Amino acid sequence: MKLTNQKHLFSIPEEITYLNIASQSPSFKAVEQAGIKGVLEKSNPYKITGDSYFEPVKEVKKLFAKLINVNDYNRIANIPSASYGLATVANNITLNKGDEILLVESQFPSNYYVWEKLADKFDAKLTLVSMPKTTKNRGEKWNEAIVSSITNKTAVITLGNIHWANGTLFDLKSIRKKATENNALLIIDGSQSIGALPFSVEEIKPDALICAGYKWLFGPYGCGYAYFGTYFDNGNPLEENWSNRLNSENMSDLTSYQPKYKPLANRYSVGEHASFIHIKMQIEALKQIINWTPKSIQEYCKEITANAVLKLKKIGCFIEEDNFRTHHLFGVELPKQLNIDKLKTKLKEENIFISFRGNYIRLSCHLYNTKEDFNKLVNCILACF
């Protein structure tokens, strides 16, 4: 399916050029209305029934399971943040002294601190695979370095499908193969890729996949999703949520305490995950993403960015080669002679929103963006030499 521009589904003002969804997504109108409906429902709590705590949650899990190609929605947990999901994972891993946890350089803090703490707990070692200094074939060389760093000492490999700051695409198939050969767990942070880049749990077989929900999944801030594989089937949750216990739907008998959890990943869902405002918004968001398809979103982003990428490379910017980066999110290393302070002022004047990362800018786009948005950005950069 070839997608056309979808800005009419959003409330973004015409004069705004928003190229920063990797920080926070805008709601489309259907998500906005779903949130308002949830707020009004809370105003009339007598309309909230027992089913309200369970049926919408099942729908959300089924939708997310469909998005990532998981057959059983019971392998999905509702989480409030990526850090909560990663903490749940780490809480259920036991290491031996000298084991290694493999990360890539400059991971997002939520996917670093939790592993540093786990390594300290078991006297294990954090191994960081550095990004190659060269720009020539950098993505390819980085992937080769990651795969070659996996050894029989590696117990856990944890990284994103892409690098959160520059969009470098990691070869998860090769990493999974090497992980399996060395009996290592593969934990993926999908916060900057799931929803905009095709991903299949059946294909990659991660042991866990953790996603913040407020970026490419268009949910409200404070929601997220986690997939847990068989390694975690009998683990310990971070909290004891009443609704995660077997037969909790029978609300008149809740004090007949139930020792068993609901099956599989249900035990890991956060308390109050049936949030009547959040859940309604999440359902509308996931329905729309599935309708668009991540493949078509990725193709659209490639089409609207292609000319700008060529122009930026011609003026001395470094952008990773196409086959080792994504098109919905990518980093641009600016030429040293460019005046960054002037660029920031120019962007503010033109109402262009992007992220700065040192001498890099991170561009992230979606279906509300156009080629003209990127032409406007390129003209701002050209004016700052």
Q: pLDDT by residue (tens digit) across 329-364?
A: 999 999 999 999 999 999 999 999 999 987 789 999
Q: What is the pLDDT of residue 6?
A: 98
**DSSP per-residue codes, 102-139:** EEETT--GGGTHHHHHHHHHHT-EEEEEPPPS--TTHH
- Domain ranges in the chain? 7-27+293-382, 39-292
Q: What is the pLDDT of residue 357?
A: 82
Tell me the pLDDT of the chain averaged across its residues. Answer: 96
Whole-structure pTM value: 0.96
**DSSP per-residue codes, 191-236:** TTTBTTB---HHHH--SEEEEESSSTT-PPTT-EEEEE-GGGTT--
Pick the CATH number of 39-292 from 3.40.50.300, 3.30.70.60, 3.40.640.10, 1.10.760.10: 3.40.640.10
Domain 7-27+293-382 CATH superfamily:
Aspartate Aminotransferase, domain 1 (3.90.1150.10)
Q: What is the pLDDT of residue 134?
A: 87
Q: What is the pLDDT of residue 50?
A: 85
Q: What's the pLDDT tens digit per position in 288-341?
A: 999 999 999 999 999 999 999 999 999 999 999 999 999 999 999 999 999 999
Q: What is the pLDDT of residue 261?
A: 96
Q: What is the pLDDT of residue 382?
A: 96
Between the alpha carbon of residue 336 and those of residues 120, 322, 333, 363, the distances in Å are 39, 23, 9, 19
Element (H, E) at 21: none
Q: What is the pLDDT of residue 245?
A: 95
Q: What is the pLDDT of residue 183?
A: 98
Strands 125-129 vs 185-189: parallel, antiparallel or unpaired: unpaired
CA distance 191 to 288: 18
Q: Assess whether the region 7-27+293-382 and the region 39-292 belong to the same CATH fold.
A: no
Pair of tokens at residue 240: 């004891």
Q: What is the pLDDT of residue 42?
A: 87
Q: What is the pLDDT of residue 356?
A: 94
How high is the mean pLDDT in each 10-residue block of the chain (385 residues)?
95 97 97 95 88 94 98 98 98 98 96 98 98 92 98 98 95 98 98 98 98 98 98 97 94 92 97 94 98 98 98 96 96 94 96 90 98 98 95
